[in-house]
Each structure stands twice: as C-alpha cells, then as structure tokens.
Amino acid sequence: MTITTTAEIVVGVGPLSIADVVAVARHGARIALDPDAVARVSDTRSVIEALADDPEPHYGISTGFGALATTYIERSDREQLQLSLIRSHAAGSGPEVEREVVRGLMLLRLSTLMTGRTGVRASTAQAYADVLNAGITPIVREYGSLGCSGDLAPLAHCALALLGEGDVRDADGLVKPAAEALAAAGIRPIALAEKEGLALINGTDGMLGMLAMGITDLDVLYRVADITAAMSVEALLGTDAVFAADLQALRPQTGQAASAANLRTLLGGSPIVKSHAGPEDPTVQDAYSLRCSPQVAGAGRDTVEHARSVAERELASAVDNPVVTLDGRVVSNGNFHGAPVGYVLDFLAIAVADAASIAERRIDRHLDVSRSKGLSAFLADRAGVDSGLMIAQYTAAGIVSELKRLAVPASVDSIPSSAMQEDHVSMGWAAARKLRRAVDGLTRVLAIELLTAARSLDLRAPLTPGAATGAARDALRTRVAGPGPDRALSPEIEAAVELVADGSILTAVENVTGPLR
C-alpha cells in the first residue's frame, strides 16, 4: 500500500508504532537515535564490561552459545567468538528476501538495542542507524530462521554487513560487497565486542516487521473487500436490508458492525438497489456470499485487531538473551521465542483465506446465468464466441486454493535444533512469510471481484450504480476498458491489482463517502 512519508522516526524515545515500522521499512523514512536512550545504552554497556573481567563465566559474554554455553572463552578469543557467531549464523538459503522486510527487521533490532537492555555499545547501535539511513540493504535469504533464539540467520546476514562482509544492495538497488557499499556511504565497519554478536541476532524482529506490514495492508484490504462486496450485491440485484444496524446489533461483534456500516454507506442511494426494492422483489434472501459478507469481513477485522494488540506489545518489548535487567543483572530468559507473534500470523492467514474464498464465490455468481439475474453468460459480449471473464474466475479459484494451503498453521510445527538445547521452536518466520503471500493473494482476488462487478454494473445500464460503488468502477475504468469483445485479461487483472494495492480504489470511494471503518 503506497503511503509517502518524510517524517523522521526517533528510535529509543519509546516503543515504535506499527506506522513507524512501515514508514522506515517500506517508505524509506530516516531515523535518529534519542540522546537519552544513547546514554542509557552506554550505561548498560559498563555492566557488560565489568562482567567481561570476571573470572566466572557469563553466558554470551565469556562463554560459547547454545549447546556450547558452558564452554569458557578466554579474553583474547572473545572478539573472534563474536565474529565467528555472526559468520556461522549467516547461513541463509533460497530466494532473496524483500527490501522492506530486511529494513523492518533491522529497525526492530535497533529498537531493542536502544532499550539499553542488550549491553551493546552506543557506536554499534549508531552503525545500524547509519546503514538504514544510507539505504543499504543486506541480502537476506528466505530460509534460515526457526523463529526461536531469534530470527537468527536473517539477523546474522544483517550483522555481517555491518562488519563489512557479505553482499548488500545499495540505495540504488545494485548488489555490491558490503565493504564497498559502506565505504561509499562513509560508514566504517564495526568490530564486535563481548555480547554484541549475540545481541544483534537474538530477536523476533523479522516476523514482527512482517506482522506490522501485514496489519497495515489488511487495514486497507478489508475496506476494499467491503467495496467489492457492495458492488457485487448491487450488480447481482441483492438487497441491502440485511445490513441494517438493528439486525447487526443482535450480534454485537465489533468488526461485523463496522463492515455492515460500510455496506450501508456504500449502497446508500443506489438506483440499482432501489430498482428492485419493495414487495415486488421475488428474492426471499440472498446467497450467503452476499448476505454474510459483514460476518466474514467483520471476523477478519477482529482478527486484525487481536494481531495489532500482540504486535504493539511486542514493539514495546526488549527481546534478547541474556538481557541486562533494570537493576543491572545479566539474566538468561526465553523471551526470544516467537510463539506470540507466530500464532497471530497464522490466525491472520486463516482470516485472509476466508475473505478471499467468499469473494471468489461472489465472482462466480456474476458469471453463472442461473444465478446472475439476467446478466450474460460469463459477462461475455457474445456468449459462445466470447468467453468473457470465465478464466478470470479460474485465476481467482486457483489463488483461493493456494490460500487455503497457506492457512495451515506453521506455528504448530517444531523441529529441535542445537543438539536438543533448542528443542522447541516457533516457526514464526515461516508463518510471516506465508502471510505475505496470502495478503498478495487476497489483493488479487479482490481485484478480480472489482473487475467482474464493475463489468456487471456496466451491463445493468441504463440503471446506474450508487455514487460510492460508481466511484470504484470509474477508478477502474481509468486503467481498464468496459464490456466488449474478448481481449487479453492478464494486463487488465494486473492493472486492477495495482489499483487495489496502491490504495487508489479505496481513495476514490472515500472521496465520496468519507473514511470507511
């Protein structure tokens, strides 16, 4: 979803918001470090340096890691210990992860560093900020995180770049060796001190960043789902009576009430709805895909709100192991476990699959002469000679089938690692990766419903749609022509996808209705 921003995000003054994460990750907002937080980071670092001189072993400071936590490391080997940790954990494989995901996980790791609970030096935190502001993006691979002990491999690839190793993309998107990109930006590679390597890789930052962006996208898509549902209800000569506030109040679900209110607004004053309203309308009740739209879209909204509450708590967290407590102790803990985030990522994928599923059923109703109330078969210009939107429905059906597979939870799986020390993991990174694919799929299904319902509305001429649904149709018509003989559909589908994804359809409608809920 395209939203531009020029605001500078100050890290360390308090918890980041979801909007802050999206601004930096997706829209390139610059960041600054809060001076008071920098001072706290330096104060905490003194605790780590005192323990580094202690002959007793302290995990992450003077010991190995994971199953090697009881192995004492001499002072002379500790810089190499931290360097080896980063190099060995930068073990990702597969396709390159999107730039916004990498920027999001780097910002969130920096946010935790700035809590003063990790024990890093202030100069290390500043290096993270400098790399983000320079637009340098470490190359991170798809596979490598089990969502426990942090998003280890993804974060290690980011840390490796700060050391001047590995590959990155510069601000222009060109792949370069990290050392070359840092030098061009005037950034000196860092050398890690005690505890710092561990602090740079031990967090749920990747999955949390993807959750923040997923929530942001779904805030838009659920309003678009109401728009396309309203267009379908209207074009299929459905009734808006079932969306009445008193009926919805009998089941006081928050999201359902919001969706139904949107449908009332979107269908208000529609000449098409008025054309068949009243006792002469032979329809007893509409099919579920029309009548129950607020129940499904509303439940999805409620799921998003639950996910938002989890994300906001996670954004206020200091996730590291060990952690430096407020009273100066360095204590091992399990806060790096990604279960809270992984669960809601999976929950959202379920809701997304169902939102796409009901939209696809509405698409199919437009095309079937036995259910479309007078529209041509497949909305074709000359049915038989032309196939109309027949195969667009196939495309939507294929996406929905994929979304159902993506709705299978990742967080119920666990594969032990690190010689059974890490014997239960969250798979939250995998849950986040499949949610991103699911959100893309929902965007495409809604775009196909937009395309289909707009053609149906045109075919209802001389009847005209309401102002709000008409605005959605007209916005589509700036990129996609109206009914006519068959033409290649793929470019038209992709144009509709862009209009949904960049917020153009929502903006066009809200210019008529005001903000939808």
Do 92 and 154 touch, CB atoms closer than 8 A?
yes
Residue 3 has pLDDT above 50, yes or no: no
Residue 1 has pLDDT above 70, yes or no: no
Residue 361 has pLDDT above 90, yes or no: yes
pLDDT digits (tens, 9 = 90+) for 168-222: 999 999 999 999 999 999 999 999 999 999 999 988 999 999 999 999 999 999 9
pLDDT at 94: 97
Q: Catalytic positions, please?
A: 59
pLDDT digits (tens, 9 = 90+) for 171-182: 999 999 999 999
Residue located via tokens 């590959």:
167
pLDDT at 4: 42
CB environment 222-242: b (16+ within 10 A), e (fewer): bbbbbbbbbbbbbbbbbbbeb
Strand 93-96 relative to strand 141-143, pairing: antiparallel
Token pair recorded at residue 448: 């196909």
Domains and their CATH numbers in the chain: 9-203 (1.10.275.10), 210-316+354-509 (1.20.200.10)
Instruction: Tell me how far apart the alpha carbons of residues 294 and 299 are, in angstroms, rounded to a whole number.
Output: 8
Instruction: Tell me how far apart the alpha carbons of residues 439 and 221 are, in angstroms, rounded to a whole number.
Output: 9
Instruction: Tell me how far apart the alpha carbons of residues 450 and 473 are, in angstroms, rounded to a whole number.
Output: 8
pLDDT digits (tens, 9 = 90+) for 88-105: 999 999 999 999 999 999
pLDDT at 372: 96
Q: How confident is the model at residue 309 (pLDDT cuts 50, 70, 90)?
A: very high
